[in-house]
Structure 1
C-alpha cells in the first residue's frame, strides 16, 4: 500500500463520494427526508459502515492471511451493496444528470482501485495470518478522517431510514373531503411544492386533473391518472372545468433580485394569469371559481401590527409582485367567476420550501436565528394549505383576498427554538441582519428579516378549522419526532386571532 498512485485514486474516490453525499443526498435530493427512500437510506448506511472499516484498515493495518481474506470479503460485500443501491435508486427516484455522471465516475475510479488492490490483497492472503501496524503519514490521517466522516453519515442514514415511516403524510385524499365528488380541476404550477401535493390529494380522491407545467418531465413524479399540458392552447373550447387553481410563478426567494430576476418573478405570475383569462374567455362552459395564488408579501413590512384581509399594504417589491398578481386574477371576475386570492404565508413541509432548506443545517447543529429573531413569521403547514384550497373551491361564499396562514404566527427566534427541539439539536447561532443584507440585499430584507403578523380572519369566520395551528406540535409531527408535544415550550410567543 505504498503506491502513491493508488492512494491518489483513493483520495479522488473520497472526494467524489463526499460531493455525492453533500450535494446530492443532502442538498438537492434530500434523501433523509423522503419517506420513499427508506431502503436506499439503509443501503447507504450499511455501505458507509463498510467504507469506514475499509478506510481504517488501509490507514493503519496491513492484514495477512485470514485477516486479508476478511478484508477482501468486505470489499466484495461493499460492491454487492453498491450494485443493489444502483438498482434501488433507479426504481425509486429519478436521478439528476449530475448524480448519474458522478456515479459513473465513482464506478470507473473504484474499478481502477480494485484492479490495483487485487494483486496486493492476493499476496497478503497467501501469507501467515497476522496484522501489522503501519503508518503512511498524511495518507493514513486522510483515510482516518474519511472513516470518521462515513461513520457519521452511516449513523445519520440508518436513523433517517428508521424515521422515514413517521414522515408519511397519511392518505392525501382526506385533505380534500370538502369537495363534492368527481370535480375537474385545472392546476397551474402543479409540479411545485404545493401544486404536487394538491394534485396528489385530488387524484387520490377520484377527481379529474389537468396540470399545466413548463416542463412535462417534472410531471413524471405526479400521482396518475393526470392530464399534463405545457400550454393552455392545448385545451379545447368545449372542455369543462369546475375550478381553476393558479399556483404558477418563478420562485421569489431563490437567488439575488437582479433587475432581470425581478422582471421574471412578476412576468411569470402575471402572464400565466393573463393566459388563464384568455382561456376563460373562449371556454363555452365557464368554471365556477378561480383560486389564485398570492402571498402575505402583499402587506409589506409591518412590524408587530396584526394584519387581516382589511389591512392596507406597505411599499415593497414583494407587495408589487402580489398586487400585480392579484390585479391580473381580479380581471377574471368579469365573467361572473368567483375569484379567491390566497395570500399564503410561509408554507412549511419537509418536502420543499423554506423548511426543507433548514433541516440539514439544523440536524448538523447549525440552527440559526435570523437577525434579531424578533420578526414575526406567519406560516401555514402544507397539508393545511391544501385543505384551505379545497375549502375555497367548495365554499361559494368565500371570495376576494383570503389570508392562508395559521392563527398563531411566531417570532423567528421562537420558530428556531421549536425546530431545534423537534430535531433534538441545539439552535444557538445567529446570523446578523447586516450579513444577510450584505449578501442577499432586498431579498433578505423582504423574505428573511421582514416582520408580518398575519391573521386568517376570513377563514376563521367561515368556519375553517386548522389541524396544525401551533408551531411546536406541528414541527414535531411533520419531522417524525418520537416525542410529541402538545404546546410550545414555556415563553413561546404566539398571536391568536381575535375575531
Structure 2
C-alpha cells in the first residue's frame, strides 16, 4: 500500500465524513425521517462494509481467498453506494452540495478501486491467510475511521427500525374543531409550524391559500392549495374566513448581529402590515386573524408562573414581540377578531430546537445548558396546530393566548427527559461561559434563560392538550415507550384543569 493510495483512501474518509455529518445529520436529519428507512439501511450496511475494509487494509494483508473476498466486498460497496444515490434521488430533494459531494465520492472511490484491486489481485495468488501489517500513522487513522463508521453504521440500522414507529399522526383530526369547510390564508405555510398546519387543514377538506416568498419551497405541500408569493395577488373579492400569520425570518438560526435583528423585526412587521392591508381591501373581511408571537414577550424571567395577564421584562425578544403584536392588533379596528398566539418551544423531530438536540443526545453527548435551572415552556407541534385551529373556531377567544403545554420544566429536567426517551445518559452540560462568548444575547435569551409560562387562556376556553406532559410528548416524537409524568408537572396541570 503506497502513500498515494492511503491519501486517496482518506480523501474518501473526509468526503464521507462531511456527507454524513453535514448532510445526513445536521441538514437532512435522516435518522428521524420515516420516509428514509431504506436509505438508512443502505447507509448502515455501507458503513459496516467500510469498517471491514479499513480494518483489513490498515492492519493486515489479506491473501488468497481472503483477498478475493475483500475485492468482492469493495465492488459490492460500490454497488450499494450507487443504489443509495438512486434511493436518495427517489425519496428526497438533494441540495446541490450533496450532489457535488456524491460525485466526488464516486470519482475518488473509482480511483481507489483502480489502484487497490490490482494489488489485491497479486495477494490473491498467495496462500489463503491474513498476514499482520502496520503502516504507521495510516494504520491508526484506519482504526479511527473504522470505529467511526461502525458507530454510525449500527446507529443507522437501528434508526431504520425506529423511524417506522415515528410516522406523524394523521393530520385531519388536528383540524376537526374548525367544522365546515373554511377558506384560510396561512402566511409562513412552508415553515416548521405552518407546514403541519397546512397539512391538517387540507386533509380536513378546507380551502387553503399559502403565502410564501418562493413557490419552489411549497413544492412539498399537500394538494389542493393555492400558492401566492405576494398578497397583492389576491383579488378584493377573495373569500377568506380566517388568516393565520406565521411568517418571519427565523429567530434561532444564527447569532443576533445588528443586521440579523433588523431582518427578524422587519420581516415580521412587513408581512403583518401586508396582512392588515389585505384585510382592509377585502370586500368581505375574515372573522379572525391568528397572529404568531412568542413567549419572548415576557422577557427573561426566573421562577414566577406567567399567564396572559403577566407583565414582561425588557430584552430583544420582548421588543420584537411587542411590535409584532401591536402591528397585528390593527386588524381589530377593521372588525376582525385578533388572537395573539405567544408560542413556546415547539417540539417535533422535523425542526425547531429539539431536532438540533436529537443527534448529540442520541450519541450520549447531551445535557443541560449552563446550570440547567432556567424554565422551558414547550408544546408538542400537533398540540400547537390544534390550538391554532381551536382559536380560529372559538369566537370568544381573543387577545393574547399562550401556546405552551401546561407543564413547563426546568432545562435540566428537559435534558433528563430527552435522555430517558432515547435511553441515553444526559449528563454532559454545555457550559454557559463559552455559549455567552460565542453567541452573545442569542445564548442568553434562548439557551440560558427562559420563562415559566402557563396556558391559562387556552384552558379557560376549553382547549385540552393531547400531550400535557413532557415524557408523553417526547415518547411520541422519538418512538419510545412513554415515561412517567414528572412530579412537578402534575400540580400545574391540576391548577389549569
Which TM-score band applies after superposition, normalised by the shorter structure? over 0.9
8 Å contact from structure 2 (residues 468, 493) kept in 1 = no
- Secondary structure of the corresponding residue to residue 99 of structure 2: helix
Aligned equivalent of 1:327? 326
Corresponding residue SS for 1:431: coil
Judging changes above 3 Å, is the alpha-carbon distance between structure 1 residues 291 and 81 closer, same or farther for their aligned structure 2 residues? same
User: Which structure 2 residues correspond to residues 225-374 of structure 1 after superposition, within 5 A?
Assistant: 225-374=224-373
Tell whether the 8 Å contact from 1:304 to 1:451 is kept in structure 2 after alignment. no
Partners of 2:287 and 2:323 in 1: CA distance: 23
Partners of 2:277 and 2:494 in 1: CA distance: 38
Q: What CA distance in whole angstroms lies between the structure 2 residues aligned with 1:83 and 1:122?
A: 24
Contact kept in structure 1, 2:198 and 2:208, CA below 8 Å: yes
Give secondary structure in 1 for the equivalent of 2:373. coil
Hey, what's the Cα distance between the residues in 1 that align with 2:199 and 2:44?
Answer: 30
Equivalent position of 2:187 in the other structure: 188
Query: Separation in 2 of the partners of 1:127 and 1:456?
Result: 75
- Taking a change above 3 Å as real, the CA distance of residues 139 and 434 of structure 1, as seen in their structure-2 partners, is closer
Distance, in Å, in 2 between the alignment partners of 1:314 and 1:424 is: 38
Residue pair 1:414, 1:492 contacting (<8 A) in 2 also: no
SS of aligned partner of 1:245: strand
Residue 198 (structure 1) aligned with residue 207 (structure 2): no
Tell me, yes or no, if the aligned pair for 2:182 and 2:206 is still in contact at 8 Å.
yes
Q: Are the equivalent residues in 2 in contact too, given 1:416–1:427 (CA < 8 A)?
A: yes
Residue 121 of structure 1 corresponds to which residue in structure 2?
120
Find the partner of 1:485 among 460, 475, 483: 483
User: Which shows bigger deviation, 359-368 or 85-94?
Assistant: 359-368
Q: Once structures 1 and 2 are overlaid, which stretch shifts more, 259-268 or 58-67? A: 58-67
SS in 2 for 1:430: coil
Q: Distance in 2 between matches of 1:19 and 1:28?
A: 11
The answer to whether the Cα contact below 8 Å between 1:456 and 1:497 also exists between their aligned partners in 2 is no
Q: Secondary structure at the match of 1:255?
A: coil
Per-residue displacement from partner, 1:135-183 (whole Å, max 9, x unpaired)?
2121121112111111110000001111001111221111111012322
Which residue number corresponds to residue 10 of structure 2?
Answer: 11
Deviation at 1:473, TM superposition (A): 2.0
1:311-339 deviations in Å (ceiling 9; x for gaps): 12211111110011101110011221111
Mapped contact 1:189–1:211 kept (Cα < 8 A): yes
Contact 1:407 1:497 in 2 (8 A): no
Segment drifting more, 278-287 vs 155-164: 278-287
Alpha-carbon distance change, 491 to 271 in structure 1, aligned in 2, over 3 angstroms: closer
Equivalent position SS for 1:425: coil
TM-score of the superposed pair, with normalisation by structure 1: 0.96
Name the CA distance, whole Å, in 1 between partners of 2:95 and 2:333.
44
1:44 aligned onto 2:43: yes
1:418-475, CA deviations, whole angstroms, 9 ceiling, x for partnerless residues?
1111111111122333332222111122112223111111110111100111112221
Provide the residue aligned with 1:59 in structure 2. Answer: 58
Alignment coverage as a number of residue pairs: 496
Q: Does the aligned pair in 2 maintain the 1:33–1:351 contact within 8 Å? A: yes
Q: Indicate whether 1:498 and 2:483 are aligned.
A: no
> What's the RMSD between the two structures over aligned residues?
1.5
Aligned-residue offset at 1:416? 1.1
Shift of 1:9: 0.3
**1:415 maps onto 2:422 in alignment:** no
In structure 1, distance between residues paired with 2:492 and 2:187: 33
Q: More displaced, 11-20 or 368-377?
A: 368-377
Which has the higher mean CA deviation after the structures are superposed, 157-166 or 446-455? 446-455
Partner Cα distance (1:350, 1:28) in 2:
13
Q: Distance in 1 between matches of 2:457 and 2:167?
A: 30
Contact 2:272/2:324 (CA < 8 Å) preserved in 1? Answer: yes
Aligned mates of 2:254, 2:128 — CA distance in 1: 59
User: Which ranges of 4 or more aligned residues in structure 1 deviate by more than 6 Å?
Assistant: 491-494
User: Offset at 1:491?
Assistant: 6.8
> How far 1:130 sits from its partner (Å)?
3.0
Contact residue 41 and residue 157 of structure 1 kept, 8 A? yes
CA distance in 1, matches of 2:365, 2:352: 18
Question: 1:69-88: CA deviations, max 9, x gaps?
Answer: 21111112111111111111
Asked if the contact 2:469–2:489 (Cα under 8 Å) also holds between the matched residues in 1, the reply is no
